[in-house]
Amino acid sequence: MYSSRNETWLFEISSKRKLIDLNFKEIWRYRDLLFLFVKRDLVTVYKQTVLGPLWFFIQPLFTSVIFTLIFNKVASISTGVVPAFLFNLAGITAWNYFKVCLTGTSNTFRANAGIFGKVYFPRFIVPMSKAISNLVKFGIQLLIFIGFYLYYVYYQGVDLAPNVFIMLFPVYVLLIVIYGLGLGMIISTFTTKYRDISILLTFAIQLLMYVSAVPYPIGQLKAKVPEYSWMVDYNPLAQIIEGFRYTVFGTEDLYFSWNGFTAICVIGMVVFVFGLILFNQTEKTFIDTV
């Protein structure tokens, strides 16, 4: 009996939980599954639709048009040198990626209860696959954005060019993923038992977009309603959206500071790690409560 204590086991199942139990070796072993999930997500969304992948473009374009009409034409919010449509397209593209990461992750447990209730595989594969498949969609939408960017620069003669901060662009994309998955995992924990949260989320995310500086530059809000500037100052999402725009447009009237950048990186890591902890705790027994 004593000798068995020293034996190595492939895995142990117990109620004791390590705080973070992210088994990279295991995730690596299931890489094919990750790939197949990504493929499934991409292939099946627009099956049996006429326009197919075109839908990837239509949604951000139309939203940008409406935003331009309402916020810039009607409410006359100035976007500085940047054409309003391009400004909105950048914000919406970034926000959409955050939104799909968040919602995709937040219903991980409920949407996959059928599979999770029957077989084991590292549960973190699911949020990862959501982040990757949506990254592909984000990439496609980015192409549209670049297309319009070039159109404005070369045909409309708008004086725009990204400066050295474009180097931070991948970091901002990563931040979007970190916040999306982190917050999503936190929410997913609560939705398994208390469904109120998922009902709340659907409209909360809508409102969150407006306080996260998507349809306006932070500078405009500060200028027009300075008493509400805390809303964007302490909102990491607003900082990310604004920073994302800064890396692509590089105009001085957009708001960027290294302190803020460091802060959102740190907060992002905290949120992500906290999300991962909760996710780990939940994945073990959620099937009993879902």
Partner 1 sequence: MGKVILKAENISKQYRLGLVGTGSLMHDLNRFWHRIRGKEDPYLKIGSVNDRSSKATEDYVWALKDINFEVEEGEVLGIIGKNGAGKSTLLKLLSRVTSPTTGIIKSKGRIASLLEVGTGFHPELTGRENIYLNGAILGMTKAEIASKIDEIVAFSGCEMYIDTPTKRYSSGMTVRLAFAVAAHLEPDILVVDEVLAVGDAEFQKKAIGKMQEISGGDGRTVLFVSHNMASVSSLCSRAILLENGCISYSGSTEQAIDRYLKDSIRSTDVNHELFPIINHDFAVSFDAIKLIQKSENIIQIELSVQTLNDLNEIGFGFRIKDIHDVYIASFTPGLTGITVDLPKGKSTISLEIENFIDVVSGGQYYIDVWLAKPKLQMIIFVEKAIGYYILPKDWYGTGMEYDRNRHGLIKINANLSID
Residue 207 binding partner 1, by CB under 8 A: no
Contact by Cβ (8 Å): 209, 247? no
Kindly state whether residue 16 participates in binding partner 1, applying the rule CB under 8 A.
yes
Q: Is 259 in the site for partner 1 (CB under 8 A)?
A: no
Tokens of 97: 């990626």
Instruction: Give the shortest CB-290-to-partner 1 separation in angstroms.
Output: 9
Instruction: Kindly state whether residue 62 participates in binding partner 1, applying the rule CB under 8 A.
Output: no
Total of residues contacting partner 1 (CB under 8 A): 39
Q: Contacting partner 1 (CB under 8 A), which of 49, 73, 75, 120?
A: 120
165 burial via Cβ count (<10 Å: 0-12, 13-18, 19+): middle
Choose between 77 and 126: whose C-beta lies nearer to partner 1. 126
Closest contact distance (angstroms) between CB of 274 and partner 1 is 15
In 10 A of CB 34, how many CB atoms?
19
- 8 Å CB contact between 57 and 143: no
Selected from 53, 54, 55, 117, the binder of partner 1 by CB under 8 A is 117
Q: Is 11 in the site for partner 1 (CB under 8 A)?
A: yes
Q: Which of 114, 157 has the CB closer to partner 1?
A: 114
Residues 219/251, Cβ–Cβ less than 8 Å: no
Member of 2, 74, 76, 114 binding partner 1 (CB under 8 A): 114
Cα separation of 42 and 53, whole Å? 9
> Could you tell me which stretch among 33-41, 78-86, 103-111, 168-176 binds partner 1 (CB under 8 A)?
33-41
- Quick check: 181 and 272 in contact, CB under 8 A? yes
Q: Could you give the CA distance from residue 213 to residue 210 in angstroms, rounded to a whole number? A: 6
Cα–Cα distance for residue pair 43/52, rounded to 1 Å: 10
Q: How far is the CB of 136 from partner 1 (least distance, A)?
A: 17
User: What is the Cα–Cα distance from 157 to 239, expressed in whole angstroms?
Assistant: 29
Residues that bind partner 1 (CB under 8 A): 4, 7-16, 29-30, 32-33, 35-37, 40, 43-44, 47-48, 114-121, 193-194, 284-289
